[in-house]
Structure 1
Amino acid sequence: MQTVLVIEDEKDLGELIVFHLEKEGFHPLLACDGTSGLHEARRSKPDLILLDLMLPGIMGTEVCRLLKGSEETASIPVIMLTAKGEEIDRVVGFEVGADDYVVKPFSSRELMLRVRAVLRRSGEQAPKASILTMGELVIDTERHMVTVSGEEVLLTSTEYKLLMNLAQRAGRVQSRETLLQSVWGYNYFGDTRTVDTHITRLRTKLGEAGEMIKTIRGFGYKMEQP
């Protein structure tokens, strides 16, 4: 049974999400503010976190940033829940490491589909070839570890899958739509800017090695050996 931590300050909504998670066979935990949510995430190491953006005390974006910046919790996928739907809010959520973004009001069916899709992505097995090397970039697929010039780079589960997708298809151009299908596992209703945001964040984390990710203007991306 997979554990899902819900960090939501609206009590009725939090309990409703917990109810639907239980119905779907998950083990839900509920925290009502950022501080207790952060503590519970570190204590229980859930399989996934549903995180409200607007929280009392510590904001959801700061909770996400702290989780993704810590080695013990960086690999836990996070879905942001928020009443804000503007593009800038989505971008901020992705920039601090969120794996997905759901705008309130949402249907329970949509939320459960997103939960299962993100869990499926994060739980997929790594390929059997254990080491993938591209210049100073080394990907240890058995340990899900990425290093550049010998220094470990902490990636979210979505960033790691995006990097693997590009590295395993090095030299091949992939459209943004193809990357959405391959990495996120479902349609984003044409919102291909999700890919651009994650590529930018990935390049930043990889430093000079990020220059291997090439933009194909008006189409998508490819990764080239140095």
Structure 2
Amino acid sequence: MQPSSSYKILIVDDDPDIIELLHYNLTREGYEVAQAENGRKAIEVAKAFKPDVILLDVMMPVLDGIAACRELRHMSEFRNTHIIFLTARAEEFSEVAAFEAGADDFITKPIKPRALLSRLAAFARRDAQQEQQEQIIEAGGLRIDRTSFAVYKGPEKITLPKKEFELLAFLASTPNKVFTREELLNNIWGSDVYVIARTVDVHIRKVREKIGEDNIKTIKGVGYKFNID
């Protein structure tokens, strides 16, 4: 999928060679690109640039990627932004820590431009598909509004990060149907994005913390379902 000119990528890395490599390949594919050399600068640039995707290095001076991701996710304007961590194999890096911080995916260095472009195209495709889906879901005492990425539980408005929202909306769109972790990974993250099955558990736990324990039921040894008695 060729991206529209409005699809924006922010590259954050303290290695100028990586910045140059990614900038060249992304602009050649038609993406609009901005860059930053550390996490603090990334937040500053993101506020002005409003990226659709942030490619975020983990180990950086001033503010590292994990801390920057957490700060970004606490800002309402970046709750729906895709964040992909860039990680070196030699780093002590936990995939679970990345997803706990709010990451959508991670890519291991050395970065292969074709693999990166494939993942970005997958994000763009899913964004386009979601715009065509049913906009309001009402189930289990919740009202899920895809247009505003908001969940309403009675008068209370609950705002979820994008992946948590997508996971809840997907389950709620087919109440009482049991989905395996693999099915959820493929439908929410995509088959061409590498994430581990534990990622689903992390996101389910976070959704339950915000909407309550009753709506999503664990089917032991299988997966999860949106529960309607």
TM-score (norm 2): 0.88
In structure 2, distance between residues paired with 1:219 and 1:50: 33
Aligned residue in 2 for 1:223: 226
Q: Secondary structure at the match of 2:165?
A: helix
Q: Which runs of 5+ in 1 are unaligned?
A: none
Within the alignment, does 1:132 sit opposite 2:138 as a pair? yes
Aligned to 1:13: 18
The count of residues paired between Structure 1 and Structure 2 equals: 223
**Partner residue, 2:118:** 113
Relative to structure 1, the CA distance from residue 219 to residue 212 in structure 2 (aligned partners, 3 Å threshold; closer, same or farther) is same
- Residue 173 (structure 2) pairs with residue 165 (structure 1): no
Pair 1:201-2:206 in alignment: yes
Which secondary structure does the structure 1 equivalent of 2:41 belong to?
helix
Equivalent position SS for 1:5:
strand
Q: Indicate if the aligned counterparts of 1:99 and 1:156 stay in contact, CA closer than 8 A.
A: no
**Which consecutive residues of structure 2, in runs of 5 or more, have no partner in the other structure?**
none
Following superposition, the deviation at residue 143 of structure 1 comes to: 2.3
Aligned identity (percent) is 37
Aligned equivalent of 1:145, options 118, 129, 150: 150
TM-fit CA distance, 1:157? 1.8
Query: Where does 1:32-181 land on structure 2 (aligned, <5 Å)?
Result: 32-84=37-89, 89-123=94-128, 124-125=130-131, 127-135=133-141, 137-181=142-186
| Contact map agreement 1:121 1:158 (CA 8 A) in 2 | no
TM-score (norm 1): 0.89
Residue 176 of structure 1 deviates from its aligned partner by 1.1
Residues 52-88 of structure 1: CA deviation (Å, up to 9, x unaligned): 1111111111111111111122111111111158896
Tell me what 2:28 maps to. 23
Cα 1:38–1:86 shift into 2, 3 Å? same
Q: What's the CA shift string for 1:83-137, capped at 9, x where partnerless? A: 15889611111111111111222311111111222233344215335342422x3
Q: Distance in 2 between matches of 1:190 and 1:78?
A: 13
Cα–Cα, structure 1 residues 47 and 105, in superposed 2: closer, same or farther, change >3 Å?
Answer: same
